[in-house]
């Protein structure tokens, strides 16, 4: 194929084609590929040129042909997408970019077994159908030259991928010819023996029956003419791959396969189609269940035809497809034909952009069933989905707007529950980042980590949301049980009694609970008073309510200190119940409690260290102060958003101090009253997933001076 030949081909169906543009794309691509060569030994440029030639057979517009010429320049040469934009404008650059992205996607397909999802991904990413058409033509030419590739396993992989992904894609957009050729080429590579055996048998059959196909076609034509119907009739044996598939699917042998012969009857009008059908059914016996009317009920991809199978003139079952010339072109060229007819009807010129969506709408207007509506809008429907890869290459399908949280729960509930971070395409991103098509997502998990209640707001899938809700409900229940048990233990201990399992079972029975655990949970969430539980076990204690004095030094919830010794919590490190702690006693001073990692400990003499731990009543100590450092984006409302998150998670803000402010972000310390470390962790987790928050850390340092606060 030469430059002039390509231009002539385009001119043949589009006399107003922009010749200069085609010439420019030709020269540009040829220079870019320079001295690159194909596996066949041909100059590389022969490939884009052949791809362009394939697309001229589909009579595609100039931007598509130019895109075909340029389609490998960005992927394989020094040319950038900006270069293409500068030289050929937005439209062509957009198309070339689309094809390049699909090519990059191919790198993943090797490891994915989910062909259906992969096809959807290709459709979702081809927001212009022309991108897909170029990609299919690219694959077709690569399949035609497959034999030049030396490595057998590489050939097989490409052939399998063609069979799994590209051939069905071609079929889905109605391009039956391309589908069949792709299948046949792949079949030849994957199972040459099966293919040869079918071809041999077809040959033998044809020889043994003389030119049976021709005779039957003539007979059909004659019968139709008798009834005044002018028709073009031709027949052919089915393709080897489709015969082979039928043999496999139906568990038949070759001799049992009846509909090896297929005939097409092309007439002028839809009315003629029905008349021709009547003639065929009158002349030969039809086979019930084989009749399909895709004219009154077009196929999902726009295909229209009448199919019927009759016992033909030579007592052989023959399948006949009846259609008009227009229906025929659509059947052969699929979506590519739709807009051409439309434009011819409206007198539009060929250089107006292809709007596949408009074609879909047109198909829709013609159709009448809901099912069809769904099928037709399918291309469009995938625009509402994103398809992302796991690090292993599995494809996960998600609704648009889905975040790494949704992704994690889609992979596995446990993974979702233990998520602490995410990498997209190798880069750390906040958990609220919306995912895009083709993203590779790696979830960072940590054993023992738990979901934040805030995730429910950033997840978009029902699955993630319900799992988060379920987890939190369980976690709350566990928390209530733990807490309720502690309260009861103290209540019983204060009364000089022991909290025994047996006693609790009795209480549970009395309250119609099945387990003591439920009693603890009731107490823990405040639905049942601990004293009432005590009294129900020891009724004589009823009067003594209120008599039991708090423990000596009631406020002391630190174990390891001699009774009566006073202490306070370090202002340097703000220990929280749950932290590992050490007491420091200096002569003449109160004991100061520090966290184990507090710098102040290093300054103190080890001699002065006292081994302490939180007492059981620490939970009832009341709120304790924790300090966190938050860095937020410098956007309106950021500070308020942070305060809302803290409040919503039960934290009481005690003080706020801005420590750093610049045009990009500002940082501040917040002192929050929390119950314990777990409560603090919960707040930190909720802050981390907020959109405005860049970082959150717990701070240990000197206390916030009074009057330092900012409101
Ligand atoms: Mn290519």
pLDDT over threshold 90, residue 462: no
Token pair for residue 353? 């952009």
70 C-alpha vs ligand 1 centroid, how far in Å? 9
Q: Give me the domain span that covers residue 427.
A: 386-449
Instruction: Answer whether residue 464 is part of any domain.
Output: no
| Residue whose pair of structure tokens reads 């997933």 in the numeric block | 689
Instruction: Answer whether residue 343 is part of any domain.
Output: no
Q: Are 212 and 204 in contact (CB under 8 A)?
A: no
| Residue whose pair of structure tokens reads 């602490």 in the numeric block | 420
State residue 15 phi and psi, 5-degree precision: -60, -25
pLDDT over threshold 60, residue 406: yes
* 128 and 19 within one domain: yes
* 96 and 238 within one domain: no
Q: Which of 541, 571, 600 is the last residue of a domain?
A: 541
The alpha helices in 284-355, defined as continuous H runs, are: 325-333, 335-346
Q: Which band of pLDDT confidence, cut at 50, 70 and 90, is reported for residue 239? A: confident
- CATH number reported for the structural domain that contains residue 426 in this entry: 3.10.20.30
Q: What percent of the chain has pLDDT over 90?
A: 24
The whole-number average pLDDT for the span 408-426 is 91
* 557 and 530 within one domain: no
* 164 and 24 within one domain: yes
Instruction: Answer whether residue 506 is part of any domain.
Output: yes
Short-list 51, 221, 57, CA closest to 131: 51
300 C-alpha vs ligand 1 centroid, how far in Å? 29
Instruction: Answer whether residue 295 is part of any domain.
Output: yes
The CA R_g of the chain, rounded to the nearest whole Å, is 38
Instruction: Answer whether residue 462 is part of any domain.
Output: no
Residue 412 vs residues 121, 421, 426, 472, 687: alpha-carbon distances, Å:
21, 15, 21, 17, 24
2-16 burial code (b ≥16 CB/10 A, e <16): eeeebbebbeeebee
pLDDT over threshold 50, residue 355: no
* 445 and 414 within one domain: yes
Instruction: Answer whether residue 205 is part of any domain.
Output: no
653 C-alpha vs ligand 1 centroid, how far in Å? 61
Token pair for residue 136? 């299919």
71 C-alpha vs ligand 1 centroid, how far in Å? 6
* 318 and 429 within one domain: no
For the chain, counts of helices (H) and of strands (E): 30, 20
Q: Which band of pLDDT confidence, cut at 50, 70 and 90, is reported for residue 222? A: very high
* 105 and 8 within one domain: yes
* 310 and 244 within one domain: yes
Least confident residue range of 26-30, 322-326, 416-420, 543-547: 543-547
Token pair for residue 379? 């291309």
State residue 632 phi and psi, 5-degree precision: -120, 160
Catalytic residues: 75-76
Query: 397: part of which helix (H) or strand (E)?
Result: strand 395-399
The whole-number average pLDDT for the span 150-159 is 91
How many Å apart are CA 71 and CA 134, to the nearest integer? 8
pLDDT over threshold 70, residue 334: no
* 130 and 7 within one domain: yes
Token pair for residue 43? 């100059």
Cα angle 546-547-549, degrees, rounded to a multiple of 5: 95
Least confident residue range of 92-96, 154-158, 480-484, 547-551: 547-551
- CATH number reported for the structural domain that contains residue 216 in this entry: 3.30.460.10
- Near ion ligand 1, which residues have CB within 5 Å? 72, 138
- Please give the tally of structural domains in the chain: 5
357 C-alpha vs ligand 1 centroid, how far in Å? 26
pTM: 0.55
Q: Is the model more confident about 28 or about 377?
A: 28
Instruction: Answer whether residue 573 is part of any domain.
Output: yes
Instruction: Answer whether residue 342 is part of any domain.
Output: no
- Torsion, Cα 11 12 16 21, to 10 degrees, reads -20
What per-residue confidence (pLDDT) applies to 107?
Answer: 58
* 272 and 160 within one domain: no
* 561 and 513 within one domain: no
Most confident of 220-234, 287-301, 365-379: 220-234
Q: Is the model more confident about 669 or about 706?
A: 669
The whole-number average pLDDT for the span 603-610 is 76
20 C-alpha vs ligand 1 centroid, how far in Å? 23
Q: Is the model more confident about 151 or about 573?
A: 151
* 640 and 563 within one domain: yes
The whole-number average pLDDT for the span 224-233 is 92
- CATH number reported for the structural domain that contains residue 671 in this entry: 3.30.70.260
What per-residue confidence (pLDDT) applies to 274?
Answer: 92
How many Å apart are CA 618 and CA 579, to the nearest integer? 11
């Amino acid at each position: 194929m030469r430059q002039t030949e390509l231009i002539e081909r385009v001119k043949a169906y589009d006399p107003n084609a922009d010749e200069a543009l085609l010439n420019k794309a030709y020269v540009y691509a040829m220079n870019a590929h320079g001295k690159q060569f194909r596996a066949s030994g041909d100059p590389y440029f022969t490939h884009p040129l052949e791809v362009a030639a394939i697309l001229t057979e589909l009579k595609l517009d100039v931007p598509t042909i130019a895109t075909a010429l340029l389609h490998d320049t960005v992927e394989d040469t020094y040319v950038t997408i900006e270069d293409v934009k500068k030289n050929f404008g937005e439209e062509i650059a957009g198309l070339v970019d689309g094809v390049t992205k699909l090519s990059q996607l191919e790198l993943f397909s090797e490891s994915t077994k989910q062909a259906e999802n992969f096809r959807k991904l290709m459709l979702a990413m081809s927001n212009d159908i022309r991108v897909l058409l170029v990609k299919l033509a690219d694959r077709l030419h690569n399949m035609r030259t497959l034999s030049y590739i030396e490595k057998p396993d590489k050939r097989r992989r490409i052939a399998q991928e063609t069979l799994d992904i590209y051939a069905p894609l071609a079929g889905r957009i109605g391009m039956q010819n391309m589908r069949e050729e792709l299948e046949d080429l792949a079949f030849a590579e994957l199972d040459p023996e099966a293919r040869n055996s079918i071809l041999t048998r077809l040959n033998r059959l044809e020889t043994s029956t003389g030119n049976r196909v021709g005779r039957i076609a003539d007979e059909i034509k004659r019968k139709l003419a008798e009834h005044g119907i002018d028709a073009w009739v031709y027949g052919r044996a089915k393709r080897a791959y489709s015969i082979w598939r039928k043999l496999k699917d139906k568990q038949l042998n070759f001799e049992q396969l009846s509909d090896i012969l297929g005939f097409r009857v092309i007439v002028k009008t839809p009315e003629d189609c029905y008349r021709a059908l009547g003639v065929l059914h009158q002349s030969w016996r039809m086979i019930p269940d084989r009749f399909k009317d895709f004219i009154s009920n077009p196929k999902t991809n726009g295909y229209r035809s009448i199919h019927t199978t009759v016992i033909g003139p030579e007592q052989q079952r023959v399948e006949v497809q009846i259609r008009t010339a227009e229906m025929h072109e659509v059947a052969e060229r699929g979506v590519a034909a739709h807009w051409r007819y439309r434009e011819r009807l409206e007198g539009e010129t060929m250089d107006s952009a292809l709007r596949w969506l408009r074609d879909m709408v047109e198909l829709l207007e013609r159709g009448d069933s809901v099912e069809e509506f769904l099928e037709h809008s399918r291309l469009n429907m995938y625009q509402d989905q994103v398809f992302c890869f796991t690090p292993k290459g599995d494809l996960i399908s998600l609704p648009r707007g889905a975040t790494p949280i949704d992704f994690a729960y889609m992979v596995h509930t446990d993974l979702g529950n233990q998520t602490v971070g995410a990498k997209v395409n190798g880069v750390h991103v906040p958990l609220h980042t919306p995912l895009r098509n083709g993203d590779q997502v790696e979830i960072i998990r940590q054993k023992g980590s738990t979901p934040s209640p805030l995730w429910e707001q950033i997840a978009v899938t029902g699955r993630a949301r319900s799992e988060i809700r379920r987890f939190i409900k369980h976690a709350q229940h566990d928390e209530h049980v733990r807490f309720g048990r502690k309260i009861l233990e103290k209540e019983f201990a204060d009364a000089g009694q022991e909290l025994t399992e047996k006693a609790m079972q009795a209480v549970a029975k009395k309250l119609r609970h099945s387990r003591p655990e439920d009693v603890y949970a009731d107490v823990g969430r405040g639905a049942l008073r601990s004293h009432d539980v005590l009294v129900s076990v020891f009724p004589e204690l009823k009067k003594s309510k209120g008599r039991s004095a708090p423990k000596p030094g009631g406020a002391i919830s630190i174990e390891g200190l001699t009774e009566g010794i006073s202490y306070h919590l370090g202002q340097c490190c703000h220990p929280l119940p749950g932290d590992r702690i050490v007491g420091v006693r200096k002569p003449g001073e109160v004991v100061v409690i520090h966290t184990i990692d507090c710098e102040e400990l290093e300054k103190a003499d080890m001699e002065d260290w006292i081994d302490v731990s939180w007492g059981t009543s620490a939970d009832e100590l009341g709120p304790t102060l924790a300090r966190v450092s938050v860095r937020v984006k410098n956007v309106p409302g950021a500070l308020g958003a942070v305060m809302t998150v803290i409040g919503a998670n039960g934290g009481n803000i005690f003080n706020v101090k801005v420590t750093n402010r610049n045009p990009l972000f500002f940082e501040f310390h917040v002192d929050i009253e929390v119950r314990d470390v777990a409560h603090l962790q919960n707040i930190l987790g909720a802050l981390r997933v907020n959109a405005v928050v860049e970082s959150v850390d717990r701070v240990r340092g000197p206390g916030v001076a009074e009057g330092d606060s900012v409101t």
